[in-house]
Structure 1
């Protein structure tokens, strides 16, 4: 599809954006290697909003190896709470049991802008933890600014972790300027859960008892109508009101399926394939027509409608799998259907990163590689029980993983992932996603046209691109 540019005035055609590629943030050659605390204080406010810079920062102790029962300590920051937090603790305990020479000192911080602000501040001070968890969609705001260190591929290979073990799309997003800056732990896609009971009543199951193909606009909408008749309420459930990400996840995944391109260069105006974006929003309006799905559902309402059988399908993240299995043990799932021309599934990825250290301790660094490789390679099956797809692909071929249901049925989504745009202000927990959701909301509610919704999104993008880059 051709890329369209908006006019900057009546009848005026806007010039194409200039400068480096999308989201490029290459600092000038004369930039100092270290960032000043003042520059990062300004930058972190832009990266995630004003956040308290106390509490989690004190978790970092000084550099240098100290003994913990004869073990070399590895400090890791993460943002996992609830069931995910418990699984990560289980994985780390198993890792320490297998490696008697290391100890893991784990610190869990509140996720969102506060977490990423604290991580940036710790890195800028040169005394961060040895490793931290980051959403891959946030990498573009950290790697170019010198807040992270690249991984040594030979060191990873020594512990059995190599490029061939990861999906190409995931590995590519973990790199910056040809170097690996994030070690992927998982992909967590936006998928389709469905009730086999409702789907069977609607005549939508194939001979194997799985949902038949919904890979077209007509097939998807027809399935929604059939399930609405079967439930007597709605066919599908999708909650987006008062949520800072759901409608963006749905839109961006479908936009990826159109093959639509984007250009988001700081200092220039945003470019999208506007005809493709309008087509996507128009389709979502067809789904949210008050019959196939509610026009005005919030996140909790959508979960409740699906869990109670008032909708036969829900469009949501795989992270809801534990709750769904508790309320409906036979819940099934699949990757998001290919509605347009190209298979694509919106997703993000939890990954381990190495925050920049002024005086790295070599013994700790070696222990860090040992720990991270072990967690990714040997503990991913535990992580998969919570719904996330292991990024380390050999795990997917094991008999133990193939027994996980419905995880095995949407694992293919990891091969067609579409992450947020590669630009410093995008990513999980960012103000960017919230702004995009707010811009789309009137269109999804039927109050504005799809064209007006796209214009509102582009207007917000232009404001973000005009803001000063933090690093």
Structure 2
């Protein structure tokens, strides 16, 4: 999930969905061995259609979780359909809900919820029924649970949190004098101290102290900017019909510090994501700003490293993050017995999510995080605290993973990152672009 962006979903209407017909299912991949409706648990099992956008290593882990849930529960049989990440997925999900062809359950990025729930594309979860299966509010970090609530109703329940974190090479850190007596990176509490540590690591590698790839990647730019922006205690409010409320002073401070990092010595001025990954795993830098999804890459590279939440440099602990969350795509007349089995199925995935943690994600389900098995997962246990301080995209119909929101950010601030452009001008240009969007209605809510 390096942050590829796609155009935002077009305005939808029931007519366009019906005319689109089979296109709503175009590009879908039904996983081998899961495509049949004949349930493995016997003739009385309820077949469940489960859509998600997880491929690669995440897709393999999810397939294992689903197989385990199916094998342990004769009451249902869930078949997975995997669709292309980004706008192709979110467009098909919206069209299926409007056109009466919705799956029984799906995964959505929690940051996309504000664009879907108000338009009636999702059904709310019954919290009492969830509780019957051991899924309750106190089982989740507050910010993770609260993100699923729109207008007082629970529309999503997060399987995980996947924040932006700091990885570091422990051997380089030790040579730079940056490891504490516990063998972990020393506590860093200011931007000046971070620069000092990064320069010390650069002196060891002879190349760079920090890897951070952003070129042509709006998601990567946004993740780091928003982490520091929130550490400064700033909010960003995007309400339709009003101008964007952005704390310009905090935005400029965040962007100016990123410019200090991208000085050609601490970090390269023009690195792309793939180059940053390669640089870090090859020992050419001591630290790496990245997402938890890159954990398997670092582990497979076979060098000594650890990870932690991004240090609190500006006073307020904060991390950018998103979540893969379960949603109920709208069905006009759902089969209540089948829907009950959806709740059972989802609860099984939560309870088995220690395997999901193995892929780097922080489980949303606290009983897993609090388990002895999770405490033994390294470095996952060292960055789990990021779930307590995470921040999702500011809510708006056009924000969230796979939307154009982060691309608009890149259009206005890449010059700030790359060539030392004026941070104030960059953030003002971004605000003007947001104001244009805020003057438009949510195209899904208007369907």
State the TM-score, normalized to the length of structure 1. Answer: 0.87
TM alignment of 1:289-438, pairs within 5 A: 289-376=263-350, 378-438=351-411
Structure 2 CA distance for partners of 1:100 and 1:401, relative to 1, 3 Å: same
Q: Does 1:55 align with 2:26?
A: yes
The structure-2 alpha-carbon separation of the partners of 1:446 and 1:306, relative to structure 1 and needing over 3 Å to count, comes to: same
Counterpart check, 1:112 vs 2:86: yes
2:197 is the alignment partner of 1:223 = yes
Tell me what 2:132 maps to: 158
For the residues of structure 1 that align with 2:326 and 2:316, how far apart are their CA atoms?
30
Match of 1:106, SS state, is strand
CA contact (8 A) 1:56 1:118 kept: no
1:159–1:373 contact (8 Å) kept in structure 2: yes
1:167-188 deviations in Å (ceiling 9; x for gaps): 1111111101111100110000
| 2:437 alignment partner in structure 1 | 464
Deviation string, structure 1 residues 260-279 (Cα, Å, up to 9, x no partner): 12221222221211111111
Match of 1:91 among 42, 48, 65: 65
Q: TM-score, normalised by structure 2?
A: 0.91
Q: Give 3-state SS (helix, strand or coil) of 2:108's partner.
A: strand
1:317 Cα offset (Å):
0.4
Query: How big is the shift at 1:54?
Result: 4.6
What's the secondary structure of 1:203's corresponding residue?
coil
In 1, are the aligned partners of 2:210 and 2:266 still within 8 Å (CA)? yes
8 Å Cα contact 2:122/2:329 also seen in 1: yes
Distance 1:272 1:128, change over 3 A: same
**1:203-218 correspondence to structure 2 within 5 Å:** 203-218=177-192
Q: How many residue pairs were aligned? A: 422
- C-alpha separation between the residues in 2 aligned to 1:267 and 1:469? 11
1:130 aligned to 95, 104, 111, which one? 104
Would the aligned equivalents of 1:183 and 1:351 in 2 still touch at CA under 8 Å? Answer: yes
Q: Name the SS of the counterpart of 1:346 in structure 2.
A: strand
Listed one character per residue, the Cα deviations across residues 21-67 of structure 1 (whole Å, up to 9, x for unaligned) are xxxxxxxxxxxxxx84147799x9xxxxxxx64515898xxxxxx76
Whether 1:275 aligns to 2:249 is yes
Counterparts of 1:175 and 1:404 in 2: how far apart (Å)?
30
1:37 is aligned to: 14
Distance 2:80 2:442 in 1: 31
- 1:275-304: CA deviation from partner (whole Å, max 9, x where unpaired): 111111001101111111111000001011
Quick one: distance in 2 between partners of 1:299 and 1:109?
24
Structure 1 Cα separation of the partners of residues 131 and 196 of structure 2: 49
Confirm or deny: 8 A CA contact 2:166 2:289 kept in the other structure.
yes
Cα deviation digits, residues 143-178 of structure 1 (max 9, x gap): 111000000011110001100010111111110111
> Is contact 2:240–2:438 with CA below 8 Å preserved after alignment?
yes
How many Å separate the matches in 2 of 1:455 and 1:82?
Answer: 38
Q: What is the CA–CA distance in structure 2 between the aligned matches of 1:53 and 1:395, rounded to whole Å?
A: 36
**Structure 2 alignment gaps of length 5 or more:** 1-11, 31-36
The answer to whether the 8 Å contact 1:126/1:357 transfers is: yes
Q: Residue in 2 aligned with 1:103?
A: 77
**Do the aligned partners of 2:188 and 2:311 also contact (CA within 8 Å) in 1?**
yes
- 1:53-106 CA distances to partner (integer Å, 9 max, x unpaired)? 4515898xxxxxx76331211110010111100100100111111102210111
Aligned to 1:245, the other structure's residue is in SS state helix
Q: Displacement of 1:435 after TM fit?
A: 1.2
Contact 1:40 1:120 in 2 (8 A): no
Q: Write the distance in 2 (CA, Å) between the matches of 1:461 and 1:282.
A: 21
For residues 146 and 253 of structure 1, do their structure 2 counterparts lie closer, same or farther at Cα, with a shift above 3 Å needed?
same
Q: Distance in 1 between matches of 2:302 and 2:422?
A: 37
Contact 2:251 2:427 in 1 (8 A): yes
Out of 448-457 and 67-76, give the one that drifted further.
67-76
Alpha-carbon separation, structure 2, partners of 1:89 and 1:54: 20
Contact persistence 1:256–1:344 (CA under 8 A) = yes
Check whether the contact 2:27–2:84 (CA below 8 A) recurs between aligned residues.
no
- Residue 313 of structure 1 deviates from its aligned partner by 0.4
